[in-house]
Amino acid sequence: MTDASDDASDDASDDVQQAIAGELSLTDPAVRSSRARFEPLFDPEFVEVGSSGRRYTYDEMPAWLPDNAGSSAGGPRYEPSAVTGVLLAPGLVHLTYETDFDGRRARRSSLWRKQSEETGWRMYYHQATPVPPEAG
C-alpha cells in the first residue's frame, strides 16, 4: 500500500530528475551547438546572469550559445559536480551545482519551470558565480 505522501515524494523526485537531465544536457557540446536541441530547453522568459556578470535573454541565446566556449566538440567541456535540486512548488524546481570549465570553477543556480506537458521542463533562470582559486 502506498500513501499519498509517498506518491508526492516520487513526483517531486521525478520532477527534480527531469530538470537535472535538462541542465546536464546543456553542458553537452552537441546540444549547445544545435539550436534545434537547445532552444526547447529554454523558457521564453529565460534570463541568465553569467559568470562574467553579463545578462542574457532568451532572444540572445540562439546567437550566443553555439559560438560560446563549451559548444565545440573538440574544446573544453563544462564538468558539473554536486548537482542537487528541490521542488519549490508544482512546476518549479531549483537546482544548484558547481562546474569546472578548463580550470575555472563556478557555482551555479537554475530555476526550471514546467507550464504544461507539451512544453515540459524549461530553464527559466540561471546564475553563475565564479569561484576564486583561493576558495576551497
Predicted pLDDT at 1: 45
pLDDT tens for the 136 residues of the chain, in order: 445 445 557 778 999 999 999 999 999 999 999 999 999 999 999 999 988 899 999 999 888 888 888 888 888 899 999 999 999 999 999 999 999 999 999 999 999 999 999 999 999 999 999 998 887 6
* SS3 state at 94: strand
CA distance 84 to 86: 7
Predicted pLDDT at 4: 46
Predicted pLDDT at 2: 45
Do 58 and 43 touch, CB atoms closer than 8 A? Answer: yes
CA distance 37 to 68: 16
Predicted pLDDT at 62: 86
Q: In Å, what is the CA distance from 81 to each residue of 45, 78, 99?
A: 27, 10, 6
**All residues at 6 or more sequence positions from 72 whose CB lies less than 8 Å from its CB, including other chains:** 29, 33
Predicted pLDDT at 129: 95
CA distance 90 to 15: 9
Residue whose C-alpha cell reads 556578470 in the numeric block: 53
